[in-house]
Chain A
Amino acid sequence: MALKIVKGSIDRMFDKNLQDLVRGIRNHKEDEAKYISTCIDEIKQELKQDNIAVKANAVCKLTYLQMLGYDVSWAAFNIVEVMSSSKFTYKRIGYLAASQCFHENTDVIMLTTNQIRKDLSSPNQYDTGVALTGLSCFVTPDLARDLANDIMTLMSHTKPYIRKKAVLIMYKVFLKYPESLRPAFPRLKEKLEDPDPGVQSAAVNVICELARRNPKNYLSLAPLFFKLMTSSTNNWVLIKIIKLFGALTPLEPRLGKKLIEPLTNLIHSTSAMSLLYECVNTVIAGQYSCSVGNTKSHSAQWPQPFLCVQKLRILIEDSDQNLKYLGLLAMSKILKTHPKSVQSHKDLILQCLDDKDESIRLRALDLLYGMVSKKNLMEIVKKLMIHVDKAEGTTYRDELLTKIIDICSQSNYQYITNFEWYISILVELTRLEGTRHGHLIASQMLDVAIRVKAIRAFAVAQMATLLDNAHLLTGNMQRNGICEVLYASAWICGEFSEHLENPMQTLEAMLRPKVATLPGHIQAVYVQNAAKLFATILKNQEGNTDSTTAQETSQLMIDRLPLFVQSANLEVQERASCILQLVKYIQKLQQKDVEIAEEVSALFAGELNPVAPKAQKKVPVPEGLDLDAWINEPPSESESEDEQPKAIFTKEEPKHSRPRHTEVDEKELARRREARKQEQANNPFYIKASPSSQKVYQDAPGVEHIPVVQIDLSVPLKVPGLPMSDQYVKLEEERRQKERAEKKKKEKKKRKEKRSGRGRKHDSGPESEEDITPAHVVDIVTEEMPEDHNHLPSPYLSKVKICICIFYLSRPLADSEKLPVRSHRAAGAPKSSAEDGEVENATSQEPKKKSSKEKREKKKDKDRERKVRFGCWKHFPPSETDSWSALNSLFFLFFFPLALPTKVCDIQGNLQDGSQVVVSVIFENKCESFLKSMEFNVLDSLNSKLQRPEGSGPHDGLTVPFQLPPGVSNEARFVFTVQSIVMPQKLKGTLTFIVKNEDSSTHEKLDFKLHFTCTSYLITTPCYSDAFAKLLESGDLKSSSVRLEGVNMPFHHLLARICFHHHFSVVERIDSCASMYSRSIQGHHVCLLVKTSGQTVSIDAKCDEPTLLGNVLDEIKQTFSQC
C-alpha cells in the first residue's frame, strides 16, 4: 500500500499538471495544435493508469482542453470513474468535467445514476452539494425520473446549504420530468417560508420561473408572495416577486389594486435602478392588461402613466447608456397604451437619434413610428433624412430608410398632408448608396402615383427627371438595388404620359443604349412604356400639319428597339419585337398620311385601378351559373404536365392585357370611355391594398438576387432639377398658416354674425390634429368594397378579374392545374371571373349557413363549458376547376359556446406537398364587442408543429395580424409541419384575445382542437384503370377491408360521399361495384374496391402504408355511421 502511494507521488511529480499544460500552450503559440495533440496523447496514457490522482489530473486537463474547443467525448467513461472517487478533491474535478462535457445524449450518463444517488445521501454536505451542482448541468429525463424522490427528500435536509441546492435543482427536474411537479409542490411551497433566507429566495426563484410558464396554477400563492414582498428587503428576491406578480396580474385584475400602493412606494423610494426598472415594467404591463377596457374603476387601479413616463424620462436622460436603452425600451411599451403621454417627450427621443450607440438609435426609431402625427411628420422625417445622410454603415441606413417609409405610409398615409413632399422624399432616398431597398421605394412611388390622382402631374415630372438622370443611379453601369426605382419611374411616366411636358425627351431617355444593362424585368417595363409614350407623342402631334416630329419619333423607335430585340431576356425580347413590328407598320401608314394616332393610343386606353386582393369575394355569382359543372372536359394527367409552362403564359397574359379595341370605331370607344369614367366617378371604392401593378412587380423574378453594388460617388449625387423636400416643410408651414388665417377669418365672421363673445380660445391655441387638412386626397381608403355588390358596374368585373388572376400567381402551381380551364379564364368572360368569386365566396358564406346550426348547438350546451365541438367538415367536390381545388381544401368548423362573444372559427386546411400543411382559420366575431390582441397558439406534438417565426420559442403564440370589430370576419393562415401522416392528429390549442366593450374589457381564452384527419392528407388524384390495375398487380400494397351495415342510400350517392368527404376519385364503376383511388401528400397510393349488396357495403382497400389505410377506413366508417 505504502509503496503504491509512493509510486503515485513519483508519477505525479513527472506528470504535467494543469498549470504546466496552460503554460505549455501559451509557450507554443505557433504550433498550438501540434502541442495539444501530444498533450492529448499523454493524457490518454495517464488515463490508463490505476492511480486515481493521475486520472483526476488528466481529466482536469481535458476539461480545460474541452473549453478550447477540442473533442473530449472519448474520455466520458474516465470522467465517470473520477466522479465515483471517494475523495472529495477528485470527485469535485470529476463532476466539474461531467458538467462541462456531458449533454443529454451522452450515453455514459445512464451509468452515473447510482453513483449520484450515493453521493446525494453522503454524510458530507459538500459531496452532496457537488453532486447536485453537477446534476443541474446534465440532468436527463431518465435521471430526473430516477432521482426525483431523492432530491425531494433533500429539500428537507437539515443543512440549508443542501436545501437551497435541492430546491433549485427541482426546477430542472420539473422541466425534464413534469410528473414530479404535483407531488413535490407542497414541499416547494413550504420552502417559501423557510427560516434560511437563501432557501427562501431559491424557492421564490423556482416558483417565479414556473409561474412564468403557467401563471394560472400559482394564483393561490398570491397572498403569500404579497406578504414576502412587503417584508423582504433583499432586492434580488423583490425583483423576482415583482416579476411574478407581473405574470399574475393579467389573470386576476383585483391583484392590481392591492399592488399599486407597494409598487408606487418602491418606485418612489428605491435607489436600486434594477428594482425601479422592474417595478415600472410591471406597472406598464398591468396598465396594458387593463387598458383594453378604459373603465374608470380600472384606470383608478393603476397610477396614470405619468409617474412611469416621468421616471423613464429620468432614465433616458441619464448619462448611463444602459439606462437610456432600457428607458426607451420601456417607453415603447407605454406607447402601445398611452401614446399621448409618450408623445410629449418627442424632443428627448429625437435627441436619442443622435446617440453614438446604434442599439439606442434603433430603439428610438421604434418609438418614433408610434409618435408621428400630421403636425410633426414632416419635422420628424426631416430629422431622419439628416440622419440618413450622416449614417455610416449600410445596415443602419437601410433601417432608417425602411422606418421613414413605414412612418410615412402607415395607416394609408394617414399623416401625410402633402404628397409632393412625400414624392420628393422618395426621390431623395434614391440617392442612397448601396441600399437594398430600391424595390421598397419603387413600390411606394407606384402606390402614391396610382392612388393620389392629384399628385400625378408632379410625380410624372419627377420621374421623368429620374429617368433622364438614370446614369447617376446605376453608377458604373453595374446593377444595384436602387435601379429598381427606374422600374417605377418608367411605369409612371408611361402610364400617366399625358402629364409629361416633354414626352419626346423622356422617350429618348428610355431608349438609351445604356438601358440594356439594367435587369431584364426593368427593361421590359421600359420597352412597354416607351410604346405608351410613343402613342402619346403621336396623339399630341395629331392635327399638326407638319408630320415630321411624328415620323422622327417612329424612326427613333425603329432605330433603338432592335437593341432590345436582341436581349437575352425573353420578356424584353418578346415585347420589343412585338412593338417594333407595330411601329414599322405605323410608319408605313404615316408615310401614306393616314391618321392613326387615335388608334395607336387606343392600345393603351383605359385606366388601371388597384383592386383589393379580397375584392373578388364580394362579387356575387350570376344566376344560373353552375360552378361544379365542367367547363371543358378534364384533360389527362400527362397532358397537363406537358403543358404547364404554357399555362403559365396564358395566366400571365391578363395582367398586361388592356382592352384591345383597335377595331372598334372611335365613337364607340369614346362613348365607352365616357361611360366608364362616369361609373368610376360614382364608385366610392378604389380598393385599398396592393395595387395590381405592384403585385406584378413583386412577382418579377430575380429582384432579390440583384447584387448590391456601391455607387461610385466621386460626384455629389444631387440629381439636377429635383426639388428638395425641405422646401416643402416651409411651404407646408405657410399653407397651414394660410389655412389657419382663413379659418380665423371665417370664425370671426361667424362670431360677428352670432355676436357671441365666447370664442377667444380659438385664436391662439396650437392647431389640433383635425385642423390640418391634407393638400391631396388619397383615394382608396375603404378597407372593403361596399356590401351592396349589386351596384358593381360591369367593366369593373373585368378589372377585378385581372387582379385576381395576378393574385393567384403568387400561389404555388399545383399539379392538377389544367390548361383548358386557364385559357377559358384568360379569355376574360365574366362567367369565369365569377367562378373565382364563388370559390372565395364559399368561405365567406360558410359562417352564415352555420348560424342556425350554431344556435341549436348553443341550446344543447347550456353548461357553457368551453369545449370545442367538432362540427362538420366539407370538401369541395373533385370537379372543382379552379386552382383552389389543388389545394385540397378542408373545412373544420368549430363552435365556441362562450359567455360573451360568440366566435366561429373556420379552419380550412390547405394541404400542399411534402410535410407542410397550411391551415387557414377564419375568425368571425359574432358578438357585439370589439376583439383585439388575438393570439393563436397550438401545443405542438412530436409529429405536428406550428411553424413559428425564427427566434420565438416553441411555446410562443402567433399574433393574429388583425383586430375584429363586431360582425367582421377575417382569415389568418398558419403553417404546420407534419412529419408522419399515417395517423390522425388532434392538436390542442388556445386562442387568447381581449374583448373590448365600451365600458369594460376582459381577457378571454378559447380552447380548441385542430383535427388533422388522415383523410385531410389525401389529395383527389385522377387515375386510369390501366394504371390502377398495374398498381394493384405490383404487389407492394397491403390490403385491408371493412364492412358497412345498414347503409341506406343509392350506390352513386355512396360513391359521391366517399369522393366528397374522403378525397377519392372513381376509377371505374361496373354496376354495384366500383374502384376508387386517392393519393396522400407524401405519395402513398390508396386504392378502394367498393361493393354493395342490399344494405351492406364492403370496402376492400389496398395501400402501401397499412396504418394510414386503417385510419382512412376508420374515418370512412365513421362518415357512414353518422348518417
Chain B
Amino acid sequence: MRFLLLFSRQGKLRLQKWFTSMSDREKKKIIRDMTTMVLARQARSCNFLQWKDLKIIYKRYASLYFCLAVESQENELLALEIIHRYVELLDKYFGNVCELDIIFNFEKAYFILDEFLMGGEIQETSKQIVNRSIEASDMLQETLEEYMSKPAF
C-alpha cells in the first residue's frame, strides 16, 4: 500500500496516511489528483481506478470517501476489504461513527489505523486484537490524563 486518504464529499481532507516518505509538495499534488478523480466518478461505477502505476481503490461511506492506493500487483478486492475493516474498527470504537467523530478525534482515528496497518502492510487481521490493544493504550493515556487533571492541592 502507498497511502490512504479520507476526504469529504466537498473534497476536504479528513485523514491522510502515507506509507512511503514523500515531500509535502508531492503529497499535496496527489491529494488534489485523488479528490478530483474520485469525486468525478459517477454513482454505481466500479470502485477501481488506474492512476500512473498505482491502483486506486475508493469507497464511499456516508459523506466520507476512503481512498487507498496500492501497487499494481495487489488484489483490488482485498484493498476494499481493508477499507471496510477500517470502517468497522472506527465504528466499533466510536459507536456508529460519523464524519464529525473523525474530525474532532482525528488523532484517535490515526491511532486505530496504526494498530491495523503498519508501513503499508496489514498488521493485524483480527478485529478483537486490534480493539484490545487500542483500549489498552487508551487506558494508559486515560490514567495519565486523570493524573494530570487531578487537583494538586
Using CB atoms and an 8 Å cutoff, list the residues of chain A in contact with chain B: 2, 5-6, 8-9, 18-19, 22, 53, 60, 63-64, 67-69, 71, 73, 87-89, 92-93, 96, 100, 103-105, 124, 126, 129-130, 132-133, 136-140, 161, 164-165, 168-169, 171-172, 197-198, 201-202, 205-206, 209, 212, 234, 236-237, 239, 243, 273-274, 277-278, 281, 321-322, 324-326, 356-360, 950-953
Would you call B18 and A63 a contact (CB within 8 A)?
no
Q: How far is the CB of B60 from chain A (nearest CB, A)?
A: 13
Give the total number of A-B pairs whose CB atoms are below 8 A apart: 168
Chain A contacts of B145 at CB under 8 A?
A: 89
Contact of B47 among A273, A274, A322 (CB under 8 A): A322
- Please tell me if the beta carbons of A165 and B77 are within 8 angstroms of each other in the complex: no
Contact with A along B123-153 (1 / 0, CB 8 A): 1111001000100110011001100110111
Q: Once the chains bind, are A96 and B125 in contact (CB under 8 Å)? A: no
Contact, CB under 8 Å: B53 / A164:
no
**Shortest CB distance A782–B (Å):** 38
A321 to chain B minimum Cβ distance, whole angstroms, is 4
Is A198 a contact of B129 with CB atoms below 8 Å?
yes
| Max chain A Cβ within 10 angstroms of own Cβ: one of B42, B44, B114, B152 | B114
Q: Name the distance in Å between B77's Cβ and chain A's nearest Cβ.
A: 3
A324 contact set on B, CB distance < 8 A: 46
Q: Tell me whether B152 and A205 are in contact (CB under 8 A).
A: no
CB of A356 within 8 A of CB of B44, answer yes
Q: Which residues of B contact A (CB under 8 A)?
A: 13-16, 18-19, 21-24, 28, 42, 44-50, 52-53, 73, 75-78, 80-81, 103-104, 106-107, 110-111, 114, 118-119, 121-126, 129, 133, 136-137, 140-141, 144-145, 148-149, 151-153
- Judging by beta carbons under 8 Å apart, are B124 and A88 in contact? no
Task: Show 19 residue pairs from A and B whose CB-CB distance is below 8 angstroms, ordered by the A residue.
Answer: A9-B152, A18-B106, A64-B106, A71-B24, A88-B137, A96-B107, A100-B16, A124-B140, A140-B21, A165-B123, A168-B119, A198-B125, A205-B121, A239-B78, A274-B78, A277-B76, A321-B47, A322-B46, A952-B53
Question: Given A64-B106, A357-B46, are A273 and B124 neighbors across the interface (CB < 8 Å)?
Answer: no
Central interface residue in A87, A132, A952, by most chain B CB within 10 Å: A87
User: Which residues does chain B contribute within 8 Å of A104, judged by CB atoms?
Assistant: 21
**Within 8 Å CB of B50, what residues of A?**
359
Are the CB atoms of A96 and B123 closer together than 8 Å?
no
Bound CA span A274–B75, Å: 7
Give B125's nearest chain A residue, CB to CB: A236
Q: Is B144 touching A357 in the complex (CB atoms < 8 A)?
A: no
In the assembled complex, the Cα of A89 lies from the Cα of B119 at a distance in Å of 22
Bound state CA distance, A64 and B23, in angstroms?
17
Q: How far is the CB of A215 from chain B (nearest CB, A)?
A: 12
Task: From known contacts A53-B148, A88-B144, infer whether A357 and B73 are also in contact, taking CB-CB under 8 Å.
Answer: no
Q: Are A126 and B47 in contact (CB under 8 A)?
A: no
Which of chain B's residues have a CB closer than 8 A to the CB of A164? 123-124
Alpha-carbon distance between A161 and B124 when the two chains are bound, in angstroms: 9
- In Å, the complex CA distance between A274 and B81 comes to 8
Of B16, B23, B42, the contact of A67 (CB 8 Å cutoff): B16
Extra contacts besides A5-B148, A124-B140 (5): CB < 8 Å: A22-B103, A93-B107, A168-B119, A326-B48, A359-B45
**What chain B residues lie within 8 Å of A243 (beta carbons)?**
73, 75
With contacts A137-B19, A325-B48, A951-B53 known, is A356 near B140, CB below 8 A?
no
A236 touches B28 (CB 8 A): no
Closest to B113 in A: A133
Residue contact B111 to A92, C-beta cutoff 8 Å: yes
Q: Do A326 and B125 have beta carbons less than 8 Å apart?
A: no
CA distance A73 to B24 in the complex (A): 10
A1035 vs B18: C-alpha distance when bound (angstroms): 53
| Contacting residues, chain B, for A356 (C-beta < 8 A) | 42, 44-45
Given A164-B124, A168-B119: A126 and B140 within 8 A (CB)? yes
Bound together, the chains give a CA A202 to CA B118 distance in angstroms of 10
Asked whether A198 lies within 8 Å of B141 as measured between CB atoms, the reply is: no
Taking the closest CB of chain A, its distance from the CB of B99, in whole angstroms, is 12
Q: Which 10 A-B pairs have the closest CB atoms?
A: A274-B77, A136-B119, A321-B46, A325-B46, A357-B45, A5-B152, A236-B125, A133-B114, A205-B121, A104-B21
Separation of A126 and B134 alpha carbons in the complex (Å): 10
Which residues of B sit under 8 angstroms from A100, Cβ to Cβ? 16, 110
B152 lies within 8 A of A2 (CB):
yes
Bound: A1028/B38 CA distance, A: 63
Q: Which of A67, A322, A951 contacts B13 (CB 8 A)?
A: A67
Please, which residue of chain A has its CB at the minimum distance from the CB of B53?
A951
Q: Are A126 and B136 interface neighbours, CB within 8 A?
A: yes
Least CB separation from A953: chain B residue: B53
User: Which residues in A have their C-beta under 8 angstroms from that of B47?
Assistant: 321-322
A171 CA / B118 CA spacing, docked (Å): 11
Contacts of A209 in B (CB 8 A): 121
Looking at A60, A73, A165, the one whose CB has the most chain B CB atoms below 10 A away is A165
Could you say which residues of chain A place their CB within 8 Å of the CB of B21? 103-104, 137-140
For B12, give the chain A residue with the smallest CB separation: A68
* A6 to B149 CA separation, bound complex (whole angstroms): 9
The minimal Cβ–Cβ distance linking A478 to chain B, given in whole angstroms, is 29
Contact B121 A168 (CB under 8 A): yes
Question: Do A236 and B137 touch across chains, with their CB atoms under 8 A apart?
Answer: no
Write the nearest CB–CB distance from B31 to chain A, whole angstroms: 8
The answer to whether A239 and B75 touch across the interface, beta carbons within 8 angstroms, is yes
Partner among A6, A8, A137, A277 whose Cβ is within 8 Å of the Cβ of B77:
A277
The distance from the CB of A931 to the nearest CB of chain B, in whole angstroms, is 26
For B124, give its contact among A87, A198, A239 (CB under 8 Å). A198
Residue in B18, B47, B122 whose Cβ sees the most chain A Cβ within 10 Å: B122
State whether B118 touches A278 (Cβ < 8 A). no
Q: How far is the CA of A243 from the CA of B18 in the complex (A)?
A: 24
B48 and A359 within 8 A (CB): yes
Cβ B144 vs Cβ A236 within 8 A: no
Contact B141 A89 (CB under 8 A): yes
Q: Whose C-beta in chain B lies nearest to the C-beta of A208? A: B121
B122 A201 Cβ-Cβ under 8 A: yes
Note all chain A residues with C-beta closer than 8 A to B44. Answer: 321, 356-357
Chain B residue with the shortest CB-CB distance to A201: B125
Q: What distance in Å separates the Cβ of A207 from its nearest Cβ neighbour in chain B?
A: 11
Q: How far is the CA of A672 from the CA of B28 in the complex (A)?
A: 70
- Give the residue of B45, B78, B107 whose beta carbon is less than 8 angstroms from that of A63: B107
Q: Are B75 and A277 neighbours in the complex by a CB distance under 8 Å?
A: yes
Nearest CB in chain B: distance from A133 CB, A:
4
**A664 CB to nearest chain B CB (Å):** 61
For residue B57, give the distance in angstroms from its CB to the closest CB of chain A: 9
Q: Are B119 and A234 in contact (CB under 8 A)?
A: no
Residue of A nearest to B48 (CB): A325
CB-defined contacts of B22 to chain A, threshold 8 Å: 103
Complex CA distance for A952 and B114, rounded to whole angstroms = 29
Instruction: Report the Cα distance A589→B78, complex, angstroms.
Output: 83
- Is there contact, CB below 8 Å, between B111 and A96? yes
Across the two chains, which residue of chain B brings its CB closest to A234? B125
With contact pairs A6-B153, A161-B133, A322-B77 given, residues A202 and B119 touching in the complex (Cβ less than 8 Å) = no
Q: Hey, which chain A residues are within 8 Å of B111, CB to CB? A: 92, 96
A168 to B24, CA, bound (A): 25
CB-CB under 8 A for A322 and B80, given A68-B13, A359-B48: yes
Q: Contacting A87 at CB < 8 Å: which of B77, B114, B144?
A: B144
CA distance A8 to B152 in the complex (A): 11
Q: Which residue of A lies closest to B49 (CB)?
A: A359
Determine whether the beta carbon of B121 is less than 8 Å from that of A206: yes
B6 and chain A: residue at smallest CB distance: A67
Chain B minimum-CB-distance residue to A165: B118
Contact B76 A326 (CB under 8 A): yes
CB-based nearest B residue for A362: B50
Chain A residues, CB < 8 A from B28: 69
Closest to B129 in A: A198
The distance in angstroms between the C-alpha atoms of A197 and B126, with both chains bound, is 9
Residues of A near B110 (CB, < 8 A) are 96, 100
Which of chain A's residues have a CB closer than 8 A to the CB of B18?
137
Residues of chain B within 8 A (CB-CB) of A126 are 133, 136-137, 140
Given A104-B21, A161-B133, A322-B48, answer yes or no on A133-B118 (Cβ-Cβ < 8 Å). Answer: yes
